[in-house]
Structure 1
Amino acid sequence: MTTPELEPHDSSTPRRAEARATITKTTITPAPGNEPVPETRDKRGIFDRIGKRGGSDGEKELASPEEPFAEGGKLRVVLAFMLSGLALLTIGGAVLVLLLWQQERASGVLTTQLARTWELFDALRIVERWLAFAVLPVATAWIAVAAINVRRATGIRRNPIIAAGSLPFGVIGAWYIGGELVADADDWVGQASGFVLQAVFLAVPLLALLRLAQAADARNRPLRVTYVVSLVYLAQLQFLGGLSNTDQSSPAAEWGPVGAYLIIGGLIQVLGALSANEAARSIEEGTENRFQLRNRFGEALLAQAARGSAT
C-alpha cells in the first residue's frame, strides 16, 4: 500500500509562485483625468537656487501669515532721497567746475573767484561724505526689516542679521581693496585684479538680497541691474574721478574733462538710485503679495471648515 506524497508547503509551490507573479505585476493606474506628472529637471539658475542647503534653511511655512512691518517702505523712501541727494551733489560739483572752466576760457579767473569756488566745492564734498556714511546704516536697516517681513509673510526663514551684515561687509571690503590695491597699483594688471576682487565683495550683498527676492517671489532683474550700475560707478570713481577725489591742484586746461567726468558720475548715480529703489520695491511688493495670498488661502480653509462643521 502506497502512501500519498504530501505537497511541500514552502515558497516554491506553483500556486504561491503564481500568486507572487500576479502581485509583482500589479500596477497602479491613475484615475481618469489625472495624468501622471512627468519628472522634470530643475532649470532654475544658480542665483535662484542659491541658499538651498538641503532644506535645513527650510521652506517651513508658519501656521498663519503675519502682516509685514510698514517701516520697510519708509526706510526705502528715505534711502531713495539720500541716494538722489548724492547724485545732486555730484552734479552740483560738476556745474561748479564747468563754470570755472568756461570763465577761464572767456576772460580768466581771478584768485578770489578761484578760492571761493573751491571752498564751495569743498563744502559739497563734505556734505557728500557725511551723506554717504549715512546711506550705509539706512540701507542695512532696510535689509534687516525686509528679511523680517519675508519671514513673517511667507514663513521662509531668512536670517536678518546675516542678510543685513552682508552689505557692510561687501562695502567695507571693496573700500579696503580700493585703497590698498587699486590705488597703489603700478600697472593696469594690478588695477584690474583689485577691481575684480571689489566685484566679488560687492556680490556678497547681491546674493543675500537675491535670497530674499527668491523667498518673496520677487523679480531678480532690478537687483542685478543695481549690481552692474554699482560696478560701473565704482570703476568711474576710481579710474576717472568723482566729487570725493577730485584734484583741486589740476591745471585749468583739465577743468573741462573733470567736469564732464563728474556729470557722467552724477548720471550713473541717478541710474543707481532708480534701480536700487525699484529692487527694494519689488521685494516689498513680492512680500505683500505672498502675505495676501496666504492670508486669503487661510480664510478659505477656515470658511470651508466652518461649512463642514455646520453640516
Structure 2
Amino acid sequence: MTVSGAQPEPTIDEAGRVATARVAAARSTVTAEKVEPASESALSRIASRAKGEQRGDKPPAREPFPVVNALRVTLTLVLAVLCLLTVGGAVLLLLLWQQSRDTGVLTSQLDRTWDLLDLLQDIERYVAFAAIPIAMAWIALAAINVGRGTGNSRNPVLASLSLPVGLIGAWLIGREVIGGSDDAITQAAGYVLQITLLTIPLLFLERVAIAADARRRPLRATYLIGAAYLAHMEFLGGLSTIDRDTTDGDWGTLGAYLLIGALLQVIGTLSANEACRSIEDATQHRYQLRSRFSESLLAQAELQRRP
C-alpha cells in the first residue's frame, strides 16, 4: 500500500541511468542538436592580429639566436662613427672661423679644409648607407627571436622593410618638398610628412616590443630624438649640407650647429642602443620563463595582466 502523493522510487535502466517517470518525460522532450562553434569574422581576426593577440596554441620555447647582440653592438659603433664625423666637421669649421678672425685664411689653407670636409661628407655617406642594412638585419633577427622565445610571431620581413620605407620616404620629401621650396608653411608641412613616415618603422618595432613584453619608452624616445635631429638637419644644417659657397661669416654658426647635431646624434645612439637591448633582454627573459615553468603558469600571468 502506497501513501498518497509519494514519489515512486527511481530505478536504473540498462544503460545505468536513473529512470523515473519525470526523467523519461524530460528525455523524450529534449532533442539533441549539434552545437556549432561561434564563427569569427574576418574584420575581428584582422583587429586581433593588429593588437598582437595570440591565436591558437603557442609553439614551444626555443633559444633566441645570440648573434643579435653582435648586430646591436655593430650598429652602435657605426652610429658612433657618424657622431665622430660630425664632431670632426664642427671642429674644422670652428678652427677655420677662428683663424679667419685672427690672421685670415690663405687660399691654400681654405682649399685643404674644404677637401677635408668633402672627405668627411663622403665617409659619412658611406657609413650611413652601411648602417641601414645592419639595422634591417637586427630588426629581422629580433623579430625571429621574439617568435622563438615567446611564441608570439612577428613577420621579420615586413618589420625590417619598414625602416628603409620610412627613411626613403622622408628623404624624398626633404629633397622634393622642403629643399625645393622657400615657403615656411610648405617646409613645415613637408617636415610633418617626414615625421609621419618615420612612424612606420616605429609602429612595427613597437609590435615586436609588445610581443616580447619589452619596455617601449626607449623606442619612443629614439623616435623623438630622431625627429629633432631631422628638424635640425632640414632647417639648420648638417655635415652633409655644407658646401664650398658658405661665406666666412657663417663658418662659426655652422660649426655650432654641427656641435648641436653631434650632441643629438650621441643621445640618439644611446637611446637606440637601449631600445634594442630592452627588446633583447625581454625576449631572453620570456624564453627562460617559458623554458623553466609550465605554459599554464605563463597563461595565468598573462590573464592577470590584462585589464
Instruction: Report the TM-score when normalising by structure 1.
Output: 0.78
Amino acid at match of 2:250: E
**Match of residue 63 from structure 2:** 67
**Match of residue 232 from structure 2:** 236
Given the superposition, is the C-alpha separation of residues 283 and 59 from structure 1 closer, same or farther in structure 2, using an over 3 Å criterion?
A: farther
Please say if 1:292 is aligned against 2:282. no
Once the two structures are superposed, what CA deviation does each residue of 1:7-30 show, in whole Å capped at 9, x if it has no partner? xxxxxxxxx9xxxxxxxxxxxxxx
Q: What is the CA-CA distance between 1:250 and the residue it aligns to?
A: 1.4
The equivalent position to 1:100 in structure 2, one of 75, 96, 104, is 96
CA distance, structure 1, for counterparts of residue 153 and residue 295 of structure 2: 23
**Match of residue 133 from structure 1:** 129
The equivalent position to 1:198 in structure 2, one of 183, 194, 200, is 194
Determine if contact 2:52/2:211 at 8 Å carries over to the other structure: no
The equivalent position to 1:280 in structure 2, one of 276, 279, 284, is 276
Q: What is the CA-CA distance between 1:58 and the residue it aligns to?
A: 2.8
**Match of residue 139 from structure 2:** 143
**Match of residue 116 from structure 2:** 120
What CA RMSD, in Å, does the superposition of the two structures yield over aligned residues?
2.1
Partner SS for 1:229: helix
Determine if contact 1:60/1:156 at 8 Å carries over to the other structure: no
1:1-311 pair list within 5 angstroms:
52-53=48-49, 58-298=54-294
Q: What is the CA-CA distance between 1:109 and the residue it aligns to?
A: 0.6
**Match of residue 19 from structure 1:** none
Partner SS for 2:283: helix
Q: How high is the sequence identity, in percent, across the aligned residues?
A: 55
Determine if contact 2:149/2:287 at 8 Å carries over to the other structure: yes
Given the superposition, is the C-alpha separation of residues 211 and 125 from structure 1 closer, same or farther in structure 2, using an over 3 Å criterion?
A: same
CA distance, structure 2, for counterparts of residue 66 and residue 222 of structure 1: 26
Amino acid at match of 1:108: G
Comparing 131-140 and 246-255, the one that deviates more = 246-255
CA distance, structure 2, for counterparts of residue 294 and residue 230 of structure 1: 35
Q: What is the CA-CA distance between 1:275 and the residue it aligns to?
A: 0.4
Q: What is the CA-CA distance between 1:166 and the residue it aligns to?
A: 0.5
CA distance, structure 2, for counterparts of residue 300 and residue 173 of structure 1: 45
Determine if contact 1:79/1:139 at 8 Å carries over to the other structure: yes
Q: What is the CA-CA distance between 1:247 and the residue it aligns to?
A: 2.5
CA distance, structure 1, for counterparts of residue 137 and residue 203 of structure 2: 17
Q: What is the CA-CA distance between 1:62 and the residue it aligns to?
A: 3.1
Given the superposition, is the C-alpha separation of residues 60 and 103 from structure 1 closer, same or farther in structure 2, using an over 3 Å criterion?
A: farther
Aligned residues: 254
Amino acid at match of 1:112: S
Q: What is the CA-CA distance between 1:80 and the residue it aligns to?
A: 0.1
Once the two structures are superposed, what CA deviation does each residue of 1:217-237 show, in whole Å capped at 9, x if it has no partner? 100100000000000010100
CA distance, structure 2, for counterparts of residue 186 and residue 164 of structure 1: 35
Given the superposition, is the C-alpha separation of residues 149 and 184 from structure 1 closer, same or farther in structure 2, using an over 3 Å criterion?
A: same
